[in-house]
Structure 1
Amino acid sequence: MVTLGSTVLNVSDINRAAEFWKKALGYVAPGDPAFLRPASGEGPRLHLDEGDRTHLDLWVEGEEALRTEVERLVSLGARRVDWPLPDDAAHVVLADTEGNLFCVCDVSG
């Protein structure tokens, strides 16, 4: 099953953005300020990135789930996006019916 794992925000200053979003959402940044999560540990995370576009990351567990969900989303109207990815990438870049980019990510490991 696919879930909303994180929202990736394009920012110009990760530390400044992290301070804002931690206070705004009550999130914490254990370790790296670019990766915020709810203090409870439950719920979607926020990833702050200076080089990537703003997009959603949908999470699945395992390679088979990744293939299945990508196929399902494409059947619903999403389209694959040609994006430079490393050979061992555990995610696929798609666009929704409005052209908004999102990733389907295997977070199993």
Structure 2
Amino acid sequence: MNLEEVILKEHSKKQCDKIVQWVGSNQEKFNELFHLFLNGEYRLTQRAAWPLSYCVIKHPGFMRNNYRELLSNLNKPNLHDSIKRNTIRLLQAVDILDNMKGWLWKFALNI
């Protein structure tokens, strides 16, 4: 599957579910989605955010080594609200490291 093409093809719940099912419990597939979420062009990152959040809700362990990149992403200028919203959604499903809680609270207060 060309994940980038699938994400850009259609923005719907059906497409989101298709991507989540494709990722399943596979960390490597999740990492591919996470990479597109962080590094893709504007529309790609927006659309990748939705299935990314559902993948983490189903498999919180996917974020084990990705917290810093995820939270650093929130500092990007002109970040679309869908990215912020889905990032906060997925953070509800994971244990947040103690040393990141203060920073996350400061960010949340500035949204």
| TM-score past 0.5 threshold | no
Identify, as 1 or 2, the structure richer in helix: 2
- Normalising to structure 1: TM-score of the pair? 0.27
Report the structure number with the largest CA radius of gyration: 1
Higher relative contact order (CA closer than 8 Å, sequence separation 6+): 1
- Normalising to structure 2: TM-score of the pair? 0.27
